[in-house]
Chain A
C-alpha cells in the first residue's frame, strides 16, 4: 500500500481562492465599491432631475445621457482602476508578493488568477452601478421624456457596455500598478491616463485630437451612444472599432501586467 503522492502544484482554483482572500481582506475593496455606487446614484439623480430641454429641441432629446453621463463614468472607471492598482501595488508595498511568488513561481498564473478575481468583482460592481444609474435616472426623469427601460435594445446595449467599463478600468489599473508599484504614483497615473489625458487630448491643446478616440471612455461613449448634442462633441470611434477597443484594452493590460511582473525582481 503506497501513500498518495502529495499534490504540490497549486491548481488554478487554489490561486483564485488565494487572490479572493487577499481582495476581500482589504477594507478599501468595500469602500471603493460602495463609494462608486453611491456616486453613480447621486449623479444619475442629479442629471435626471435637472434636465433642461429647449422647446424646439425635443426631437434631439437623448435620455441615455442622464444615466450614462461621461464625467460620472470616467470617475467610475478611475475608481475601478484604483481597485486594480491596489490589487497589484498593495501587494508589492506590503511585501506579500515575495511570499506569493515563492509559493507559486509561475508568476503568469498568479497574474491570471488576480485578473479573474479583480474582473469578477468589477463585473458585479459594474452591473449594479449600471442598473442603479439607469433606474434612478429614469425615476428622476419620469413625467418628462424618459422611456428608460431595458426593453429597448439600444438601452440594453448601453447598460451592458457600462457594466463592462469597470472591468476594463480595473485591468488597466493592474497594469499601471505593475509598472509603477508605488501606490500614490500608480493611483495618480491611473487618474492621468483614464481621465486627464482624454480631457487634455480632446481640448485640442496638443495636436493629437484623434488619439481621444482610442481612450476607453470614447469607446464606451461610441457604443452606449450617450453623447450630448453639443456643437463640438468629443470625437468617438466607429462602433465596430469601439468594440475592438473594449476588448483590446483589458487584454493588452493583462499581457503588460504579466510581462512586467515576470521580468522584474520583486
Chain B
C-alpha cells in the first residue's frame, strides 16, 4: 500500500488478513522465520501477561497495565523496527518490549516496584516506560531531530493510546514533527477505551489517523489485530522516515481485552457482549489460522512454544522475586552526575535511620491496590 495515497479519514482499515485469517489481496513478502518470530513474540507476551495478572492477584506484583488483545499491534510494529531505531514507549508495551530485547524478568521487576527493572539492554535504543499519558511524544520528536542533525538513517517509533491523542503533548509533538520534518513514526494503539472513556467520548474525529492531515503528513488507519497489516504499514513508514526523514501517523484499531490496569474493573463501564465480540477477533488466533494454512503452525510447534514460554516465564519470576533488596543509596545515586552535598547528607541520614531503626510500623495492605 502507498502511505501517501491512503485516505486516513475513511473508516476503511488497511488489512492483509480478514477476521477469519484469510488473505485479502496480495501475500506480503515476509520470510517464514520472521512470521514464526512474530507468532512467538505475540504468544509469549500473552502468556507473560497472563502470568503477571496471576502474580498481581496473588499479591506478588504491584499494579500494571495488561496488554491482552494488543499483541498484534505491538509485535507487528516492533518487528518492523531495526535495532538502532529508537523505541519510545508509553506504559502498556510488554509485547514490543520483549521483542525489543527487554528480558521478561526486567519487566516483572519493574512492576514489582524495583527500579532496576528499568535498566535498558545495552545495544538497543529503547527509552524507559513513560507513565504520564502522551508526554513521551515530544521526546520522540527530539530524538528524531537529533537523528536528522546527525545525518539520518535511523527512525523513531513512539507508541501511545487513543486517550493520548486528546492531550496537548500529542498535538505539540506532531505539529513540531510536521514543521521540522523529522524521521518519527507516531503509532497509536487505539484500543477504544481510555480507562472507562470510550473512543466516541474521546474525539469527534472519524479516525485518529485523519488528524495527520492537520499536521501535514500521511496518516494510516490499519487493523491493529492484523499483525501482517500492522507490520507492513509500520515498516513502510519507518523506511520512509529513514530515507526521506518524514513523519507518519499510524492508527492501529485494536481492543483492550483486559482491564486498564489491575486496579480497574471494566465490568463497571463496558458490556459483556462487546467484550465477547472482540474476543472473537483475537489477534493471535487470527494469525495462527493463517500460519496453519501456510503449513507453518502445527500442534507440535505449539507444544514446543508452550514449553518454551513456560520455562522462560518461570525463570523470569524466579529472577524477579529472588533479587536482593535494593541498597538505599540507589534512591539517590542517579539524581545527578555529581551528587550535591545536600543529597549526600539526605542519603546518609536514610542509611543511618534504617540501621538504627527501633520501631517497626505495622504495614497496612490496601485491597485491590492503587490505580
Question: Do the two shown chains form a genuine complex with each other?
Answer: no
